[in-house]
């Protein structure tokens, strides 16, 4: 098939586009042109590259025409963040494209009341990003149920892998956490350390997208989670990560008020956003309907990210990895 991938040079696309080429598809990547794929692969030589500014073209009402000009049978949209943008693309593709696969997020859900969370059964989102993504997922389901465009949405967890800085044990991107763990220092954690984080390797996310394309009829009108088979608690994550450096994690629980006083607003807000949600998502549906077989447990996926950063002197640690 001829497949247009919107945003294929990003982290998911870096793995998805080569997968699609290997599967025999004719692939077009629509990119802003500001970056190259995170992971090099020979398959990229067979990919047609189209440079387009999605945001500007959405504002001008032209992006749908840009996509259709590539004559796609399938469109994979990895770069859509608002209901207005998604609706405009659906309107353009309806009746002219066989399948639209959209990238959502686990932040379509608010704080967990019961885990694992099954598709569409979490609490309502509370930030604009999550609100928009949940609205898109619902709109796509209604579109297909009403006999319109065949659509599917895929909802990844916290993506990790080569070229990506992982969400750390505190639920933020503070790189100093890795220095503390690698030197055997004390990590001050908000709460008691039982909050959950659900990571996923980018290639496992790409696998779900590839399967959704391959099993169009089964995926029609459905939404799927794309996460690792298990999640990590703050405490478990810290202990596993410290062991990579031959250390034992020393954790000191503190209040959220203390944590905010000791950290930047950006890092504190990120920690609250991740840990308050306390997400653990089910992948039973993706396994049952699509045959999803994740290749990475969360710690293995995170370790790959950390190793990539250390090997390129992009992460300050006190000692080399011992694994």
Residues 109 and 147 in one domain: yes
Residues 6+ apart with CB under 8 A from 189: 169, 170, 234, 235, 238, 251, 252, 253, 254, 259
Instruction: Tell me the average pLDDT across 135-158.
Output: 98
Does 65 reside within a domain? Answer: yes
Task: Please tell me whether residues 265 and 137 are part of one structural domain.
Answer: no
Rounded Cα–Cα distance for residues 211 and 209 (Å): 5
Do 208 and 81 sit in the same domain of this protein?
Answer: yes
Q: How many domains does the chain divide into? A: 2
In sequence order, what are the beta bridge partners of 5? 29, 76
Question: d(Cα 175, Cα 305) in Å, to the nearest integer?
Answer: 13
Whose CA is closest to 169, among 77, 101, 249, 89?
249
* 213 and 65 part of one domain: yes
pLDDT in tens, 148-206: 999 999 999 999 999 999 999 999 999 999 999 999 999 999 999 999 999 999 999 99
Task: Report yes or no on 64 lying in a domain.
Answer: yes
Whether pLDDT at 1 is above 70: yes
Is the pLDDT at 37 greater than 90, yes or no? no
Pairwise CA distance, residues 306 & 26, whole Å:
33
Does a structural domain hold residue 287? Answer: no
Q: Which one of 209, 226, 243 terminates a domain?
A: 226
- Residue at 285 is within a domain: no
- 169 and 216 part of one domain: no
| Whether 56 and 204 share a structural domain | yes
The reply to whether 292 falls in a domain is no
Model confidence pLDDT, tens digit, residues 266-300: 999 999 999 999 999 999 999 999 999 999 999 99
- Helix (H) or strand (E) holding 159, with range, is strand 158-160
Decide: 178 and 315 in contact? Cβ < 8 Å: yes
Which CATH number goes with the domain that contains 103? 3.40.50.720
Domain of 40, in residue numbers? 2-159+199-226
Q: Is residue 323 a part of any domain in this protein?
A: no
Q: Give me the CATH number covering residue 193.
A: 3.90.25
Mean pLDDT of 307-323: 97
Do residue 136 and residue 190 come from a single domain?
no
- Assess contact for 221 and 144: CB atoms under 8 A: yes
- Report percent pLDDT > 90 for the chain: 96
Dihedral sign of CA atoms 182, 185, 186, 189 in order: negative
Q: Dump pLDDT digits (tens) for 216-225.
A: 999 999 999 9
How does residue 34 score in pLDDT terms, banded at 50, 70 and 90?
A: low
Listing DSSP states for 60-114 in one string gives HT-HHHHHHTT--SEEEE----SHHHHHHHHHHHTTT-SEEEEE--GGGS-S-SS
Nearest alpha-carbon partner for 191 in 243, 127, 257, 236: 257
Average of per-residue pLDDT values in the chain: 97
| 222 in the same domain as 111 | yes
DSSP codes joined into one string, 204-230:
HHHHHHHHHHHTHHHHTT-EEEE--SS
Please give the DSSP secondary-structure letter assigned to residue 184.
T
Cβ contact 137:223 at 8 Å: yes
- The pLDDT confidence band at residue 35, using thresholds 50, 70 and 90, is low
Quote the pLDDT of residue 38: 77
112 and 34 in a single domain? The answer is yes
pLDDT grade, residue 96 (50/70/90)?
Answer: very high
Residues 237 and 110 in one domain: no
Residues 73 and 40 in one domain: yes
What pLDDT sits at residue 39? 82
Start-end of H helices in the chain: 11-22, 54-60, 63-68, 83-93, 128-145, 176-182, 202-214, 216-219, 234-243, 256-262, 265-277, 284-285, 298-311
pTM listed for this prediction: 0.97
Percent of the chain with pLDDT over 70: 99
Q: What is the pLDDT of residue 33?
A: 79
Q: How many CA atoms lie within 13 A of 304 on its CB side?
A: 18
Q: Which of 107, 133, 112 is nearest to 123 (CA)?
A: 112
Answer yes or no: do 97 and 144 share one domain: yes
| Residue 290 included in any domain | no
Residue 318 lies in a domain: no
């Amino acid at each position: 098939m001829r497949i247009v991938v919107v945003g294929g040079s990003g982290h998911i696309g870096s793995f998805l586009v080569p997968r699609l080429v290997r599967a025999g598809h004719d692939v077009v990547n629509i990119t802003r042109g500001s970056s190259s794929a995170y992971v090099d692969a020979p398959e990229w030589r067979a990919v047609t590259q189209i440079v387009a500014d999605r945001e500007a073209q959405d504002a001008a009402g032209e992006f749908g025409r840009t996509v259709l000009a590539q004559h796609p049978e399938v469109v994979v949209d990895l770069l859509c963040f608002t209901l207005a943008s998604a609706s405009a693309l659906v309107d353009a593709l309806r009746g002219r494209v066989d399948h639209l696969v959209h990238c959502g997020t686990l932040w379509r859900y608010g704080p967990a009341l019961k885990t694992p969370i099954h598709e569409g059964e979490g609490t309502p989102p509370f930030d604009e990003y999550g609100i928009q993504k949940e609205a898109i997922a619902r709109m796509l389901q209604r579109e297909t149920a009403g006999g319109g465009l065949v659509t599917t949405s895929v909802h990844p967890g916290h993506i990790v892998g080569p070229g990506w800085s992982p969400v750390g044990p505190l639920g933020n991107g503070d790189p100093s956490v890795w220095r503390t763990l690698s030197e055997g220092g004390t990590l001050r954690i908000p709460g008691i350390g039982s909050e959950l984080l659900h990571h996923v390797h980018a290639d496992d996310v790409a696998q779900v997208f590839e399967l959704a394309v391959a099993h169009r009829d089964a995926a029609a009108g459905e939404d799927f989670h794309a996460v690792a088979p298990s999640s990590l608690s703050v405490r478990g994550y810290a202990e596993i990560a410290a062991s990579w450096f031959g250390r034992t994690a020393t954790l000191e629980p503190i209040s959220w008020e203390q944590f905010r006083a000791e950290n930047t607003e950006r890092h504190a807000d990120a920690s609250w956003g991740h840990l308050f949600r306390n997400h653990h998502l089910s992948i039973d549906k993706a396994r049952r309907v699509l045959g999803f077989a994740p290749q990475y447990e969360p710690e293995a996926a995170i370790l790959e990210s950390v190793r990539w950063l250390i090997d390129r002197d992009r992460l300050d640690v006190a000692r080399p990895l011992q694994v």
